[in-house]
Amino acid sequence: MKKDSGLPGEFELIARYFAPLARGFPGAYGLLDDAAVIAPAAGHELVAKTDAIVGGVHFLLDDPPDLIARKALRVNLSDLAAKGAVPRAYLLDIMLPKTLTRDWIEGFASGLAQDQDEYGVHLIGGDTDSTPGPVCIAIAAFGEVPIGRMLRRGRARAGDTVFVTGTIGDSALGIEVLRNALPDVGAVAATFLVERYRVPRPRVALGPRLVGLANASIDVSDGLVADLRHICEVSELAAVVEAPRLPLSVAARSVLVARPGHLATALTGGDDYEILFTAPPTAAGDLSRLSETLDVPITAIGRMQTPSSSTEDRVTVLDSNGQAMILRRSGWTHF
């Protein structure tokens, strides 16, 4: 068959491209049964999460297929990490337009293979359909935590320090680069920012180590301010963030020197896939050791407190003068 011919049939697709990704997970039964079995380790329970990505909404239709696959998987792994779970397996539902090619699906499967190796997860099943619309990929991921220990949004305490991993804002600025909205940013910085948007780095190794240290945790996907607000709402608390403490990459800093207004983009842009968590100030020592061991920056950016009134915004961001910043949007919403 020609390399660039159209898609193979459904069963060939599964047997040829997906079944190899199920090797190494006995409960997947080689994708030859109707369903799969996941046996959690003794004393553990499963954490389940699904996230779909849609062509033209979450990625560009001409993005490389291996990167699309990795993003689809990684956004789910990021949620599991923020919940303190070790990822084990995932299901893949893929809706394919008939115009896609064999090369595309090959690239897609190779992206999954690469990340399976990196994160120790396996494909254990799914569904394959055709669609008259753009390609759509839904992954459901399963990880495990010690029973009762999943990190929750709602367990923050007044007096907790607010921490975030890695750097914030790279992805949102990467989108600005792709839109040609940052023409004066250097080539190295531009490439770095776009890469951060295209391929999230879920904090898979770190997340499970936060069990026992963090009180509340969420992954930053909608935007730092919006996601912190989620923690505040469910924990019935407020938070103050000091903008000058925000961890920024060298590339993001170079953008902000020329365009300080983009600090708001970093705070609200989203797609960071870092872990935002709260912990008592006494955890700071353990966290800095963990940060060093895993080589993942962990930065204190603010604190949790009792809300002073029921009408105030639950998240206050202070600028370098200690003044509350006015943010036009706090994060991404679909509707």
126 near ligand ADP (CB under 6 A): yes
Contacts of 215 (CB under 8 A, 6+ apart): 155, 156, 157, 160, 277, 278, 279, 280
Q: Which does 18 bind (CB under 5 to 8 A by kind): ligand ADP, Mg ion, none?
A: ligand ADP
193 near ligand ADP (CB under 6 A): no
CB 46 within 8 A of CB 86: no
Give, as ranges, the residues between 1 and 30 that touch ligand ADP (CB under 6 A): 14, 18
Nearer to Mg ion by C-beta: 12 or 127?
127
33 near ligand ADP (CB under 6 A): yes
10 near Mg ion (CB under 5 A): no
CA 150/CA 277 separation, integer angstroms: 13
Dig out the tokens for 237 from the structure: 């608390």
| Position of minimal CB gap to Mg ion | 127
- Exactly one of 33, 63, 127, 292 binds Mg ion (CB under 5 A); that residue is 127
- Exactly one of 76, 128, 161, 249 binds ligand ADP (CB under 6 A); that residue is 128
Smallest distance from the beta carbon of 2 to ligand ADP, in angstroms? 23
> Looking at beta carbons, which pairs linking 324-329 to residues 24 or more positions away fall under 8 Å?
325/243, 325/263, 325/264, 325/267, 327/225, 327/264, 327/267, 327/268, 328/264, 329/223, 329/268
Q: Which region, judged by CB under 6 A, interacts with ligand ADP, from 120-128, 224-232, 278-286, 304-312?
A: 120-128
Q: Which does 125 bind (CB under 5 to 8 A by kind): Mg ion, ligand ADP, none?
A: ligand ADP
The per-residue DSSP string of 35-48 comes to -----PPTTEEEEE
Nearer to ligand ADP by C-beta: 111 or 126?
126
CA 5/CA 196 separation, integer angstroms: 32
- Exactly one of 4, 34, 184, 295 binds ligand ADP (CB under 6 A); that residue is 34
CA torsion 80-85-90-91 (nearest 10°) is -60
- Exactly one of 65, 111, 125, 302 binds ligand ADP (CB under 6 A); that residue is 125
CA 205/CA 4 separation, integer angstroms: 38
Nearer to Mg ion by C-beta: 8 or 307?
8
Q: What angle do CA 315, 320, 322 make, to 5 degrees?
A: 55
Binding residues for Mg ion, total number by CB under 5 A = 1
Helix (H, G, I), strand (E, B) or coil at 13: helix
Nearer to Mg ion by C-beta: 103 or 127?
127
CB 189 within 8 A of CB 237: no
- Exactly one of 123, 218, 225, 275 binds ligand ADP (CB under 6 A); that residue is 123
Give, as ranges, the residues between 85 and 104 that touch ligand ADP (CB under 6 A): 92, 94
Smallest distance from the beta carbon of 146 to ligand ADP, in angstroms? 28
CB 268 within 8 A of CB 223: yes
Eight-class DSSP state of 239: E
Residues forming the site for ligand ADP (CB under 6 A): 14, 18, 31, 33-34, 92, 94, 123, 125-128
Residues forming the site for Mg ion (CB under 5 A): 127
